[in-house]
Structure 1
Amino acid sequence: MGDLLQLVEARLHSAFGERHSRAAVTFLGTDRIEVLRFVDGDVLRYATLGMSRQPMSDPLATVADPLRGPRAELVLSVRAGLAPVDQVLRPLAVLAASPQVEGVVVAPGASLDVGGPLWTGAPFSAVLVAEPGGLVEDLGLDEPLEPVRFFPVLPMTQNEAAWKRVHGGAALQERWLKYGTDLRDPLRASVPLSD
Structure 2
Amino acid sequence: MSDVLELVEARLRTTLGEPDARAAVTFLGTDRIEVLRFVGDLDNEVVRYATLGMSAQPMSDPTAVVADPLRGPRAELVLTVRGGRADTDKVLRPLAVLAASPQVEGVIVAPGASLDVGEPLWPGAPFTSVLVAEPGGLVEDLELDEPCDPVRFLPLLPMTPNEAAWKRVHGAEALQERWLRHGVDLRDPLRSGVPLDD
Bin the TM-score by the shorter chain: over 0.9
Specify the alignment match of 2:3 in structure 1: 3
Specify the alignment match of 2:186 in structure 1: 183
Specify the alignment match of 1:75 in structure 2: 78
Distance 2:155 2:96 in 1: 14
Hey, which bits of structure 1, 4+ residues long, moved more than 3 A? none
**What whole-Å deviation, never above 9, does each CA across 1:119-150 have from its counterpart, x for those lacking one?**
01100000000000001000000000000000
Specify the alignment match of 2:38 in structure 1: 38
**What whole-Å deviation, never above 9, does each CA across 1:151-185 have from its counterpart, x for those lacking one?**
00000000000000000111100000000100000
Distance 1:177 1:2 in 2: 39
TM, length-normalised to structure 1: 0.99
Q: Which runs of 5+ in 1 are unaligned?
A: none
* One-letter amino acid of the counterpart of residue 160, structure 2: T
* One-letter amino acid of the counterpart of residue 36, structure 2: L
Matched, 1:112 2:115: yes
The share of aligned pairs that are identical, in percent, is 78
Distance 1:111 1:60 in 2: 20
Matched, 1:140 2:147: no
Specify the alignment match of 1:194 in structure 2: 197
- The two structures, once aligned, show a CA RMSD in angstroms of 0.5
TM, length-normalised to structure 2: 0.98
Specify the alignment match of 1:23 in structure 2: 23
**3-state SS in 2 of match to 1:104:** coil
User: How many pairs does the alignment contain?
Assistant: 195
In the TM superposition, residue 3 of structure 1 has moved relative to its aligned partner by: 1.1
Specify the alignment match of 2:132 in structure 1: 129
Distance 2:28 2:82 in 1: 32
**What whole-Å deviation, never above 9, does each CA across 1:20-58 have from its counterpart, x for those lacking one?**
110000000100000000001211000000000010001
